[in-house]
Amino acid sequence: MTTYARVIRAWTGEGWVDDAVVSIDDDHIAVVPTEPDEPVGRIDDTLLPPVTDAHVHIGLSDFATRGAGALARLLDLGWDPPALSAVVASSPSPAPEVRWAGTFLTAPGGYPSTRAWAPPGSVTPVATPEQAVAAVDAQRGLGAAVIKVTLNADAGPVLPDDVLRAVVDRAHEHGLVVVAHVEGAGQPMRAVEAGVDWFAHAPWTHRLSDAELDAMVGRVGWIGTLDIHGRGDYGDDYARALDNVSRFVARGGPVAYGTDLGNALTTADVNPREVAALRSAGVDGERLLAAVTGAGLLPRWSRTASLLPADVTGTADALDALAQARPVDAATLRAMVG
């Protein structure tokens, strides 16, 4: 049954709405544009779509014991789905929503199959277009929300064009977005040419040319993960990534907030260094709100949402208060309706 509540204000992805009406269902919380016939309760807070980390590896984090702090939604970009389900089931309540890609699809012997942090079951080797179709279908059958492929030319073989294209085409047939780890010379453009929708990291190994960036806008989005390049102790990789993001964003390219949780970062929460890095690359204001709510990559409204204090009156306040965001699910919101 749907419950309705009025919040003090909400950010909808298309601006701020005072006295917004929110529909609350077990699997979906959303701002609705029209007044319902049913009674409408009151929640004295400010509402955002779920504050989202769009690049995590929960299996490499302390999520099971510490939860996810201010985050209302997480996108896991590479793990064994049954192992992941077990971790998610054990998380503290109210649980953030966890969506996942399932296993890394990669060339036999390709990244990250040789990495110690990638246990058996987290990588699916794909050698032919037929295997690509089967691998995508298998992840989908296990509940994948997106498909993850790796193209790391600096760490082993990479999927050839026909196999990569088979992954992308099959995922798109199912309505699934494809996220690629691209690393090494030429890999970003290869991924875009094959139809990959998002990069798991802003490219950092090479400076992309203006022509490459022009060709990418409108075809691909980037998950930032800028802070991975030193976790505050930044060097050349960070500088190259920041430069690429700045020029991509200046062209209108979409960027989503993601930290690569599990990579030298173990506790899930809003990472102020990643937020600051996006700002310094020119992602600010409502674009930054869009980035931290997974806009363009995940559905705007979801099973969870984020509440901010009542004195948050607009975009600048909301960005300053991100660390105080409170993840809520339908049960939490229903209990708050006065």
DSSP 185: T
Q: Which stretch binds Zn ion (CB under 5 A): 242-250, 255-263, 268-276, 288-296?
A: 255-263
260 near Zn ion, judged by CB under 5 A: yes
**Cβ of residue 181: shortest distance to Zn ion, in angstroms?**
7
Q: Please give the single-letter amino acid code of residue 336.
A: M
**Cβ of residue 175: shortest distance to Zn ion, in angstroms?**
23
Q: For residue 3, give both structure tokens.
A: 């419950």
Using the minimum distance from each CB to Zn ion, give the nearer residue, 260 or 329: 260
**String of DSSP letters for 1-35:** --EEEEEEEEE-SSSEEET-EEEEETTEEEEESS-
The count of residues interacting with Zn ion (CB under 5 A) is 1
Q: Which stretch binds Zn ion (CB under 5 A): 26-34, 94-102, 240-248, 259-267?
A: 259-267
Q: Which stretch binds Zn ion (CB under 5 A): 121-129, 205-213, 256-264, 322-330?
A: 256-264
229, HSE (Cβ side, Cα atoms, 13 Å): 18
Question: Could you identify the residue written with the tokens 């040319």?
Answer: 209
For Zn ion, what does the binding mask look like between residues 163 and 182, x meaning CB under 5 A? --------------------
Percentages of the chain per state (helix, strand, coil), in multiples of 5:
30, 25, 45
**Cβ of residue 60: shortest distance to Zn ion, in angstroms?**
9
Checking 33-36 for CB contacts under 8 A at 24+ apart, the result is 36/2, 36/4
Using the minimum distance from each CB to Zn ion, give the nearer residue, 197 or 329: 197
Dist CA 283 CA 264 (whole Å): 24
Using the minimum distance from each CB to Zn ion, give the nearer residue, 183 or 260: 260
**Cβ of residue 135: shortest distance to Zn ion, in angstroms?**
18
**Cβ of residue 227: shortest distance to Zn ion, in angstroms?**
13
Binding site for Zn ion (CB under 5 A): 260
